[in-house]
Amino acid sequence: MNNILIKSATLIFPDHDKHGQIVDVWIDNGIIKDISLHGEKTYEQVTVIDGKNQYLAPGFFDMNANFGEPGLESKETLSSGCAAAVAGGFTGVAVQPNTNPALHSKGEIALVVNLSKDNLVSVYPVGAISKDRAGNDLAELYDMKLAGAVAFSNGNKSVQQAGLMSRALLYSKGFGGLVLSYAEDSSIANNAKMNEGIMSTYLGMKGNPNLAEELMVTRDLYLADYNDAPIHFSTISTRGSVELIRRAKRKGLKVTCDVAAHHLVLTDELVAEFDSNYKVNPPLRTLDDIEALKEGLQDGTIDAIVSQHTPHEIEFKKVEFEIAKNGIISLQTVFPLLLKAGLSLELIVQKLAINPRKILRLALPTLQIGDNANLVLFNPTESWTFDLNTNNSLSVNSPFYNTTLTGKVNLVVNNKKIYVV
């Protein structure tokens, strides 16, 4: 099915002259051959994809996905992670350095780049800020950049040493690198299991306060300002963090940030059943925090939305809540969750397809004759069941497993390859 006509789809493509209109798009071997208003032209000898009541947009891009390869392939391989990504509408993913060994030198970065070649989903490795992600010594940032790293992060281990973070910001600034900060003061979070608040008190569980995140956001904003360097905050989750970043943007700091999709719909009250699939980090917060995050998306304080896809083997999740690992698989559920959160389709496309690429300085998908197609076709009202038959991840740690979701991806095109449900 290399010669297709996507017929009668509504285009959501910012800055395109046919944005918001119903179009027919002809794609042959992954190349845009023609784009016209619906019914304006006729096409012969093509496979027709009915886009009625569906929307055609740039392929989604995830800035925060965890794949296990290298070293943790039983959680997720690059191949299975890409399969989950494409089913969720993603044509690009930035993979975190939470592997074994960590992605902390040019060797590991080159390995990921080479293993993920010729895939429909373009994979972009994120190099570790510190060697082994231990937070002590600066990793080979420039060498990793040359090998293909698009940014630098310590993954799910926040950099506790202010001096190390400051050097990372200053050094990467010199060659156009970007540091991603996962903001958590470990001395305040203190290995807590859930959000600190009414629910943690009720359950008698150690809580991780908003303060742990906000202290680190404050510190890293000061460091970025001092070094006149750009910084991006990954998976912010509190009202205070939103306000701190909002103020920093008003002051002119080079700061961007993202939020995980599940933090827009799930609250800490769900932990009451001790289902470890609700155990994530940052922890699920309160309804007040959710409202602040949505406000941040609307006013531009929060630039992007991510999956924070974190697969685990069953033995790490089907245990007591206290000892279960943090994280859920989420690449295939991001779009339905954003619809559930009440976000408009245009806002979703902006935060999930356009802005992530802008932040990482990657080329934006275009839709002109002769271009390589980079597209997703989705139906926001179609329901589907996330279960054994539809899950493409190797893992099943999701609170939405075996549930019906609304918002379905039906076609993805990228790298001259086509995925059709």
Q: Domain 60-359 belongs to what topology?
A: TIM Barrel (3.20.20)
Per-residue pLDDT, 346: 98
β 417-420/403-414 pair status: antiparallel
Residue 231 bridge partners (DSSP): 179, 255
User: What class does CATH assign to 3-56+368-420?
Assistant: mainly beta
Q: Which amino acid is at 292?
A: A
Confidence tier at 8 by pLDDT (50, 70, 90): very high
Residue 337 pLDDT > 90, yes or no?
yes
Confidence tier at 42 by pLDDT (50, 70, 90): confident
Q: Which amino acid is at 86?
A: V
The mean pLDDT of 77-87, rounded to a whole number, is: 98
Per-residue pLDDT, 231: 98
Mean per-residue pLDDT of the chain: 97
Per-residue pLDDT, 268: 98
3-state helix, strand, coil in the chain (%, to 5): 35, 25, 45
Separation CA 201–CA 396 (nearest Å): 30
Give the H or E element holding residue 143.
helix 141-147
Any idea what DSSP says for residue 365? P
From the number of C-beta atoms within 10 Å of its C-beta (0-12, 13-18, 19+), residue 206 rates as middle
| CA 279 from centroid of its chain's CA atoms | 18
In this structure, is the dihedral angle defined by the CA atoms of residues 396, 400, 402 and 406, taken in order, positive or negative? negative
Question: What value, to the nearest 5°, has the Cα angle with vertex 20 and ends 15 and 26?
Answer: 85
Ranges of each domain in the chain? 3-56+368-420, 60-359
Nearest C-alpha neighbor of 158 from the set 202, 203, 96: 96
Residue 55 φ then ψ, to 5° = -125, 140
pLDDT tens digit sequence for 407-418: 999 999 999 999
CATH fold match for the domains 3-56+368-420 and 60-359: no
Separation CA 372–CA 27 (nearest Å): 9
**Token pair of 52 as six digits:** 């009625």
The mean pLDDT of 245-249, rounded to a whole number, is: 98
* pTM score above 0.85: yes
Residue 370 bridge partners (DSSP): none
Per-residue pLDDT, 322: 94
Per-residue pLDDT, 2: 87
Confidence tier at 1 by pLDDT (50, 70, 90): confident
Confidence tier at 360 by pLDDT (50, 70, 90): very high
Any idea what DSSP says for residue 351? I
Q: Which amino acid is at 144?
A: M
**Token pair of 312 as six digits:** 């685990």
- % of the chain with per-residue pLDDT over 90: 98
The mean pLDDT of 233-262, rounded to a whole number, is: 98
pLDDT tens digit sequence for 158-207: 999 999 999 999 999 999 999 999 999 999 999 999 999 999 999 999 99
Separation CA 378–CA 381 (nearest Å): 9
Q: CA–CA distance from 138 to each of 165, 170, 410 (Å)?
A: 9, 12, 43
- % of the chain with per-residue pLDDT over 70: 100
Per-residue pLDDT, 39: 86
The mean pLDDT of 80-107, rounded to a whole number, is: 98
Q: Which amino acid is at 407?
A: G
